[in-house]
Structure 1
Amino acid sequence: MKYQNDNFYIITGGPGVGKTTILKQLEKMGYLTVSEDARKIIQEQVQNHGNGLPWKDKELYTHLMINASVYSFKAISNDKRNIVFFDRGIVDAFCYAEMIDLVISPDMKDITETYRYNPKVFILPPWPEIYETDDERKQTWEEAVATYDAMKNTYSIYGYQTIDVPLETVENRAKFILENIVNSQQ
């Protein structure tokens, strides 16, 4: 069974580019948002002394991300009327898998065909002025740039159109995203 929801929009990009800030702005404007699964997984694994961490067992971490992303998608998949914004999507986990040279099995690939978001994906480019690391975000600036490039490529491979969100204030970035959605619905 295929789950296609054109009201589900992904906001993605490398680490530290302002995704969470934009999602908080969109939520403040009344939109439903779904927070990033990867950060939750890292926090849970650290708290439970688990191995499913990008600096321990990358393969386990990838599978945890895929499962959590599918769960997040399915949890609200009945909402076909409201616009929903996701802080990353299922394809992000596949991008990570490719970056660590994890073989994508046919069953894994079926997941990307089964759970489909709106074909427009909003991607935030690297922005050195706002980039910073923290307990869950340990990537260097160079890794952040490489992740952005990989995300653009991976989303394209899986049939999505990436739209670069300009380096602007959070309000202008949210406005840009909403204008792109409205313009495509007309």
Structure 2
Amino acid sequence: MRYGVLHRQRDRPGRSGCRDAGARARSLPAQPQCRGDAETGRRAQRRGSEASGRGERPVRRAGRAPGHARQELRDFLDQFVVISGCSGGGKSTLLAELARRGFSTVPEPGRRIVTEELRCNGNALPWTDMATFARRAIAMALADRLAAESRKALVFFDRGLVDAAVALEHATGERTVMPLGTAHRYNANVFLAPPWSEIHVHDAERRLEFTEAVAEYARLERAYRALGYTMHLLSRVDVEARADFVLATLGAAPPVAM
């Protein structure tokens, strides 16, 4: 989704069926609360190392040593893989290909918000009220990450919490990227779709001009680098080749068919 914006805007309440959602978005604190990573690590320990099928990430049972517990947490967080980058760069197409191969995927928060706001004539849209839109995207990204904790295999996210935090910080000046991005981690490998003018589209739900999309991409790249992620640039090739590259980088095989 397009998280870029040219002008900072004031929060305005949503209309119609979106009024309550808009109010919740405006009340979101700068650092939303969700389960801590320590609890996440304990839950990962209880699950044990039963995930041995294709595509699953084995979870090592931690001993009492603190170093083992930290490794357990890293193994657990390695499940969450973010596909980010330029708007209109082919991220959603890549996620669809990974889903076709049997992997769990999470659709882009911004796209879901735009669809709902257009349906109910709301204001939480990136071209109308970026601040409210970004706060909603942060809340949704946190909920998505929390829901993914119950899965024992790789989960691919179409954008994530960092993308939404970058949008809010750019729109309002609130320092949200480092606090949120540090508290809620994903796999250390992040895959970025670069600007690709040949496939960039402009429609009712994707109104970001290509030049704005390029500027947004630069902000995302800086944020992920500052947070210490290893960024992998997706080549401008067909979606099958892109999916092969992502899985090879992660050392992942297709999940077991049920």
The TM-score normalised by the length of structure 2 is 0.66
Matched residue SS, 2:169: helix
Aligned-pair Cα RMSD in Å: 1.6
Matched residue SS, 1:76: helix
Matched, 1:51 2:123: yes
Q: Deviations over 1:73-126 (max 9, x none)?
A: 1011122x3011000010001121233243125xx7543233211011000101
Alignment partner, residue 62 of structure 1: 134
Moved more, 153-162 or 168-177: 153-162
| 1:7 partner letter | Q
2:96 aligned to 10, 24, 29, which one?
24
Runs of 4+ in 1 over 6 A off after TM superposition: none
Alignment partner, residue 132 of structure 1: 201
1:98 aligned to 160, 165, 169, which one?
169
Higher relative contact order (CA 8 A, sep 6+): 1
Matched, 1:76 2:154: no
The TM-score normalised by the length of structure 1 is 0.90
What is the alpha-carbon distance in structure 1 between the residues aligned to residue 175 and residue 139 of structure 2?
14
Q: Report the number of matched residues.
A: 180
- List runs of 5+ in structure 2 lacking aligned partners: 1-35, 41-72, 253-258
What is the alpha-carbon distance in structure 1 between the residues aligned to residue 218 and residue 179 of structure 2?
24
* Structure number having the greater strand percentage: 1
1:121 aligned to 148, 168, 190, which one?
190
> Is the Cα–Cα contact under 8 Å of residues 178 and 227 in structure 2 kept in the other structure?
no
Alignment partner, residue 15 of structure 2: none
What is the alpha-carbon distance in structure 2 between the residues aligned to residue 168 and residue 174 of structure 1?
10
1:174 aligned to 215, 236, 243, which one?
243
What is the alpha-carbon distance in structure 1 between the residues aligned to residue 94 and residue 202 of structure 2?
18
Q: Percent identity over the alignment?
A: 34
Alignment partner, residue 211 of structure 2: 142
Matched residue SS, 2:144: helix
- List runs of 5+ in structure 1 lacking aligned partners: none
